[in-house]
Structure 1
């Protein structure tokens, strides 16, 4: 599948801020399931700093903006060719050992209900089957209902509500997988369309579970599937905060508001030759 992506994030402040520094994890991952044909990141009024590939294999760019300013616009445009690898992250180079992803965070720390949900999955034939069953259990336990949770909602809170969004599904799956001895992590990216074919007009998130002998495998409880050609992977972390596509800090006392617009559309063909970050 050939996808064109436009992602714009606008930060507005009620008072001018200055000396803003951002760390951007907004470049598609390099693995067998996707190939970047062109990709551009722009921060209005900003100065691009050095970039590097971290231990998880994610490309990180630094940007600075001197200011003072009351608005910062981060725009991403690019085209990615994807193919279905049944959720398996083949050909992805990283240095961090999978066992490092067994550590809980505030967002994924299990309570009694999450432990009970993890223990309720029985009769799994092998670790891969267990991972699939855990993903299905999370999908059954937390209905996809936008607007009922926020960025700081934990997996335990989402399970108690019985409602949430993709971030909550990912956090809950990470929590129950770790309870069953499977390393798990949070993944940020994009989704072209959901299982019903409806266009997805936001950034997306899912979880990856490490299966011995197979490697990292993606699971998206929100759509009851493994990532396929509709998905574009950006980066990973212990939870949503750790894997955030944009992280930053600014000097000033301005109150921040945020607007995000994402458009992912399928195109017939690409004109340019393949270009990827090294």
Structure 2
């Protein structure tokens, strides 16, 4: 499929900001099953935008600006072609050894409750892949997807205690549990196309786990599925801190308000709808006094 993304992050300040610097992990890379056709990052104020790569191989744009007025919008637009790989990740340059992803990280620490849950969820698994699928089903069933109760700084243990969270939280719970089971696993940020919800509150998050003789495999605990062609992979890390779409700091500006708007469409379906609308606009007008009637097959 072809996924079209429009992602706007709006910052509003109650007084002018003297300056800011932002680390933007908002640009996907090509790999098997994912080809970037077009991608743009457009800040609405003048500044400096430079591109680099971090230690995980993520594309990072550094944006800095001085003398901001009352608002800044970072607008991301692009189209990415995706194909089904059944969750298996190929064609990715690995910058770090697999054991690195066994490291405990700030948001994905397994407390006693998560350790007991992981042992129980994976029990009876015949092989590592089977254990991961059991863990996937366990996390999806144990933690309800519910925006609101958690925030960007919520840990795996806190989300698991609440038994509620969003994609980020379910990913952290899965990561903490998998590392307890001594399975290398990492956090993934990106986008997810949903046929029933083009307008979304934020991007999405899932995980990738290392499976012997198979490689890295993507799992989406929020939806209880292996990664599909509807997932658009952007950045990876040990947890959210390493793959956050936007992180930064500023001087001045008083109180800051952030508004996020994300739209994820099937570009081909959208293009077909636009073509149908255009064809409809060109339809001949009915003579005065007569109504056009739609034929039925």
**Which SS does the other structure have where 1:160 is aligned?**
helix
Q: What's the counterpart of residue 275 of structure 1?
A: none
Aligned residues of 2:187 and 2:240 also touching (Cα < 8 A): yes
Instruction: State the distance in 1 between where 2:55 and 2:162 align.
Output: 35
The reply to whether residue 240 of structure 1 matches residue 240 of structure 2 is yes
Q: How far did 1:70 drift?
A: 2.2
Instruction: State the distance in 1 between where 2:46 and 2:83 align.
Output: 34
Query: For residues 229-273 of structure 1, what are the alpha-carbon distances to aligned partners after superposition, in whole Å with 9 as ceiling and x for unaligned?
Result: 1111100111112210111111125222110001111122899xx
Q: What's the counterpart of residue 215 of structure 1?
A: 215
Q: How far did 1:101 drift?
A: 1.4
Between Structure 1 and Structure 2, how many residues are aligned? 268
Q: What's the counterpart of residue 94 of structure 1?
A: 94
Q: What's the counterpart of residue 134 of structure 2?
A: 133
Q: How far did 1:181 drift?
A: 0.4
Q: How far did 1:2 drift?
A: 1.0
Q: How does 1:1-278 map to 2 (within 5 A)?
A: 1-120=1-120, 121-193=122-194, 197-199=195-197, 201=200, 202-252=202-252, 254-268=254-268
Aligned residues of 1:48 and 1:61 also touching (Cα < 8 A): no
Instruction: State the distance in 2 between where 1:44 and 1:98 align.
Output: 40
CA RMSD of aligned residues (A): 1.7
Query: For residues 34-79 of structure 1, what are the alpha-carbon distances to aligned partners after superposition, in whole Å with 9 as ceiling and x for unaligned?
Result: 1111111011114343312333221111111112322111000111
Q: How far did 1:83 drift?
A: 0.8
**Which SS does the other structure have where 2:241 is aligned?**
coil
Aligned residues of 2:109 and 2:156 also touching (Cα < 8 A): yes
After superposition, the Cα gap between the structure-2 partners of 1:146 and 1:247, relative to the gap in structure 1 and judged at 3 Å, is: same
After superposition, the Cα gap between the structure-2 partners of 1:134 and 1:19, relative to the gap in structure 1 and judged at 3 Å, is: same
Q: Which has the larger radius of gyration?
A: 2
After superposition, the Cα gap between the structure-2 partners of 1:270 and 1:223, relative to the gap in structure 1 and judged at 3 Å, is: closer
- TM-score under structure 1 normalisation? 0.92
Q: How far did 1:134 drift?
A: 1.0
- TM-score under structure 2 normalisation? 0.86
Instruction: State the distance in 1 between where 2:267 and 2:247 align.
Output: 30
Structure 1 spans left out of the alignment, 5+ residues? 272-278
Instruction: State the distance in 1 between where 2:258 and 2:8 align.
Output: 11
